Amino acid sequence: MGTEHTTEPTVLAPEDFDRWWDGVVRAFGGGPASSEERELDRSLTEFDRTLAVRDGDEIVGTAGAFSFRMTVPGGAVVPTAGVTMVSVAATHRRRGVLTSMMRRLLDDAHAKGEPLAALHASEPAIYGRFGYGAATFQLNAEIDTARVTLALPDGTDEVRVRYVSPADALKECEAVYAALVPGRPGMLARQPGWERQGLLDPESDREGASALQCVVAERAGEITGYARFRTKLGWGPSGHDGTVTLEDLAALDPATEGALWRFLFGIDLMSTLTVHGRPVDEAWQHLVSDIRRCRPRLRDAGYVRLVDVGTALAARTCLAPVDVVFEVADAFCPWNEGRWRLTGDAKGASCERTSSPAEVSLSVRELGAAYLGGTTLLSLAAAGRVRELRPGALVEASVALGSPVAPWLPHGF
Ligand SMILES: CC(=O)SCCNC(=O)CCNC(=O)[C@H](O)C(C)(C)COP(=O)(O)OP(=O)(O)OC[C@H]1O[C@@H](n2cnc3c(N)ncnc32)[C@H](O)[C@@H]1OP(=O)(O)O
């Protein structure tokens, strides 16, 4: 360990943003990184919760948090620290710099009364030690649109799809997104400014594909959905072999969903539709004639940490009536340690400290994984990560923490 520097984070001054951001870019492989992205990140940065660790004049550690609000099962939108831009210079790795930044971010979130923290992990192995569990998953797919057909829902023909400029339609698209937020756990109620992330379109990221394109879906003059995508034409021995890459899609109803997918399937000269980061229960899987030819692949996506176990669990509803005492281990945030009694049903929940005997024992990481309903306590118990101490309590708790809609973290941050 070096002796000349400390791992103590300090709050980032706005004038240091460029150096700080360069450090992030270098740690994430060195770019290319566009000025467009830098300016958007600068405008979204909450400087009072953005950290730098220094070694002399050099910034060797970066991290920050956004003041998000995230939907939880039942529809409440809960203050959440969106942890972001975590990097440590390769010259200073494995000396505890990350650990000290995580300490500070979680202490700050706790002091602010944010019951949750969430992040996208560059590697799944990093954040478990800090109490984060894999809470949302995403579906990626490469759909052979030359072979796969769609069975469309009633009303699809009443929906009109038309091209718009992505920027011109931003307000209408954002209204569609906002209407969907309460209905799916994990979705983020976006602060003004965040909608611009959906327009980021640096040429360096296109890999030969088109600029971002956008269509909106309309019924009776109302915009009911949108899709943003790119196209890339390719030619093989037997002719055209183009790819459509879906960047974002939102639909308020089944007919709109059908109309947008029909459009994406039907673009001439394109034979593959690549989708990534989609909800695991999204409707398109039930529209297609041959799911196997869509090559669906599941991936871990959002990691959730209960910063305050009692407040977090009381903020969601329970899928079935429950009355269970959890024994929670939390070495990194010891204020969560001990026994918590969760009671509740579909209308609401309460979670209080108790001296009653423990019935299910687990660490805060497992609670984070199960919290949005995307991972069951039963499956974690099968891996030995959750223990049942009262017969029946595990199934009861596992079902109660479920969600009728799969959780999904809608975009990067
Ligand atoms: C939310 C986000 O922004 S995710 C992005 C994360 N950033 C990146 O992936 C960029 C490239 N990587 C890095 O910058 C760094 O390697 C980091 C941030 C991942 C780790 O930073 P470090 O300062 O080296 O971590 P630190 O020394 O605090 O390590 C703490 C513990 O985590 C472990 N650890 C750190 N990184 C990793 C990893 N990538 N995989 C597995 N374990 C890890 C360490 O071994 C250490 O374990 P120990 O306490 O048992 O010894």
Residue 174 identity = E
Give the confidence band of 5 by pLDDT, cuts at 50, 70, 90: low
Whether 405 maps to a domain, the answer reads no
Residues 240 and 324 in one domain: no
Domain boundary among 80, 98, 114: 114
Residue 236 has pLDDT above 90, yes or no: no
Q: Which structural domain range is residue 206 located in?
A: 139-299
Residues 277 and 168 in one domain: yes
Q: Are residues 218 and 355 in the same domain?
A: no
Percent above pLDDT 70 for the chain: 99
Within 181-269, where are the H helices? 254-266
Q: Residues with Cβ < 8 Å from 241, sequence gap 6 or more? A: 234, 235, 271, 272
Q: What average pLDDT does this structure show over 210-225?
A: 97
Evaluate if residue 70 carries a pLDDT over 60: yes
Distance CA 267, CA 377 (A): 43
The radius of gyration computed from the CA coordinates of the chain, to the nearest angstrom, equals 23
Flag whether 390 is in a domain.
Answer: yes
130 catalytic residue (yes or no): no
pLDDT, tens digit, 9 for 90 and up, residues 150-179: 999 999 999 999 999 999 999 999 999 999
Q: Interface pTM (ipTM) of the complex?
A: 0.98
Distance (Å) of CA 369 to CA 87, 94, 384, 405: 23, 26, 14, 15
- Asked whether residue 101 falls in the same domain as residue 151, the answer is no
Instruction: Output the domain CATH number for residue 165.
Output: 3.40.630.30
Average pLDDT over residues 355-380: 98
Q: What whole-number distance in Å separates Cα of residue 54 and Cα of residue 88?
A: 10
**Same-domain status, 62 and 83:** yes
Given pLDDT bands bounded at 50, 70 and 90, which one contains residue 3? very low
Distance of CA 19 to the CA centre of its chain: 27
Q: What is the pLDDT of residue 2?
A: 44
Is 104 annotated as belonging to a binding site?
Answer: no
Pocket test for ligand 1, best of 49, 92, 98, 411 (most atoms within 8 A of CB): 98
Residue 342 is part of a domain; what is its CATH number? 3.30.1050.10
Q: Supply the residue whose CA is at minimum distance from atom 49 of ligand 1.
A: 96
351-365: per-residue pLDDT in tens?
Answer: 999 999 999 999 999
pLDDT at position 4, please?
Answer: 53
277 with 217, same domain: the answer is: yes
Please give the tally of structural domains in the chain.
Answer: 3
pLDDT tens-digit map of 73-121: 999 999 999 999 999 999 999 999 999 999 999 999 999 999 999 999 9
Asked if residue 67 belongs to a domain, the reply is: yes
The mean pLDDT of 196-206, rounded to a whole number, is 92
User: What mean pLDDT is reported for the chain?
Assistant: 96
The answer as to whether 128 is a domain residue is no
The answer to whether residues 88 and 217 belong to one domain is no
Ligand 1 atom nearest 97 alpha carbon? 23
Q: Is residue 347 part of a domain?
A: yes
Of 299, 317, 347, the domain-final residue: 299
Is pLDDT at 324 greater than 50 in this prediction? yes
Atom of ligand 1 nearest to the CA of 7: 23
Is 152 in the same domain as 279?
yes
Q: Do 291 and 376 have their domain in common?
A: no
The angle at the Cα of 245, spanning 239 to 249, to the nearest 5 degrees, equals: 140
Which of the following is catalytic: 66, 177, 371, 413? 413
Q: Name the domain boundary from 80, 114, 148.
A: 114
pTM of the model as a whole: 0.96
Residues 282 and 315 placed together within one structural domain of the fold: no
The dihedrals phi and psi of 229, each to the nearest 5 degrees, come to: -160, 170
Q: What pLDDT is stored for residue 65 in this prediction?
A: 98
User: Which tens digit of pLDDT belongs to each residue from 13-46?
Assistant: 999 999 999 999 999 999 888 999 999 999 999 9
- Domain assignment present for residue 228? The answer is yes
Question: Domain for residue 3, yes or no?
Answer: no
Instruction: Give yes or no for a contact between 188 and 68, defined as CB atoms under 8 angstroms apart.
Output: yes
Same domain, 171 and 217: yes
Q: Are residues 389 and 278 in the same domain?
A: no
Residue 410 lies in a domain: no
pLDDT band at 238 (very low <50, low <70, confident <90, very high): confident
